[in-house]
Amino acid sequence: MTDQCLVLTPEKVVLSFYPCGLLQRIFAHVIDLSVVAALIYGASLATLLLEPVLGPGNAGALASFAAFGLTFGYFVVLEAFWRGQTLGKRAFRARVLMADGTPMGFSAALFRNLMRLADMLPIFYLAGMVSIILSPKSQRLGDLASGTMVIIERVRTTGYVPAPHHVGIHRMESTVGDLYNMTLEEYHAIKRLVDRFPSLPPTTQQWSVTHIWQPFAERHSIQQATDVHPIFQMEAVVMKFGRTHNLI
């Protein structure tokens, strides 16, 4: 397993990621399993209290359903809606991304974690461990099947907090003009840049601003706002164009 994996984006920018190693993934998984076990224990106590009302058979069925739902729902929901992290992954600064470096969606999180059923079989569990060790992107079988990878985030100070560019009206929208001549291809390019920007190394961030954002801003007569990081105007472009064209 190499120290880094490189991804070439559609904008022709090379991104470098640090794959999460086997031991870190095991320790993170132990934390997650402990949390899941505690949730299942709480659900079991709740169904036990409901047994006089539901009856032994219904209470047992409900407990089994809750255990199954919590076991898989915990991973699916957190990874899909908490930017690719569970509590265990967050403790070790690990995060799940798509193999091309983009954020993971719900369908990928669902399919990735359904593959845990296969991991429960010893032969597949062993194969998954070997795959993590030998794969260039440190991917287990579920990662290979769903096109995802688990990375370690290096601690980095950005000096800004990117906005959630999928809701509301961005406060910088008044600075980006009408965007009448902006194309859908440009929207996707700027959106991909905004999605990836927080995880990019500082040198790649600067390269992206110079070679992607600044030419775009000049083409659409967008003046750089003073004392504001360009990422905020990029977000404003994505939110304004996306809302205008019903893309978000």
Per-residue pLDDT tens over the stretch 32-60: 999 999 999 988 888 888 777 777 777 77
Question: Residue 16: phi, psi to the nearest 5?
Answer: -115, 135
Per-residue pLDDT tens over the stretch 50-87: 777 777 777 778 888 888 888 889 999 999 999 899 99
Interhelix angle 230-244/184-196, nearest 10 degrees? 140
Nearest CA among 167, 179, 169 for reference residue 241: 179
Contact between 86 and 74 under an 8 Å Cβ cutoff? The reply is: yes
Interhelix angle 122-134/22-54, nearest 10 degrees? 150
Query: pTM above the 0.75 mark?
Result: no
Residue 103: both structure tokens together? 């954020």
Per-residue pLDDT tens over the stretch 7-30: 666 655 566 778 888 888 889 999
Per-residue pLDDT tens over the stretch 91-122: 999 999 988 888 888 999 998 888 877 666 66
The whole-number pLDDT of residue 176 equals 92
pLDDT band of residue 2 (cuts 50, 70, 90) is: very low
